[in-house]
Amino acid sequence: QVQLVESGGGLVQPGGSLKLSCRASENVYNFNQMTWYRQGPGKERELVASLTVGDTTQYADSVKGRFTISKDGAKRTVYLQMNSLKPEETGVYYCDASIWSRHFWGQGTQVTVSS
């Protein structure tokens, strides 16, 4: 069973930065795609950024130019660098890894953007 562990969340002021990590129990190149999702209070889970095994990236329009998804195969980790954070980006950030139709989820990490 694939295990994913997210970390790096916390409290940050508007305009600040955080870097989230998602460590996998196996080689990240085993996955077709790894994706970061966000679920804000009272909101549905939404895609933030994704990265395919071929290094193709996709971002939500609202985060383009501010967030960067990347991976380190040696560390079995996918990152989400978040800059210029906004209060509306508060929520639990989840990491998803997919192998064809199978999806594996982490437990999430809380990000709170507030002054």
Please write the tens of the pLDDT for every residue from 8-21. 999 999 999 999 99
pLDDT tens digits for 18-69?
999 999 999 888 899 999 999 999 999 999 999 999 999 999 999 999 999 9
Cβ atoms of residues 113 and 63 within 8 Å: no
Residue carrying the six token digits 């990590």:
21
Q: What's the pLDDT score for residue 30?
A: 87
Phi-psi map region of 74: left, alpha, beta (phi>0 left; psi -120 to 50 alpha)? alpha
7: its two tokens: 């970390």
Across the beta sheet with 4-7, what order do the strands follow?
4-7, 18-24, 77-82, 67-72
pLDDT in the model for residue 1: 86
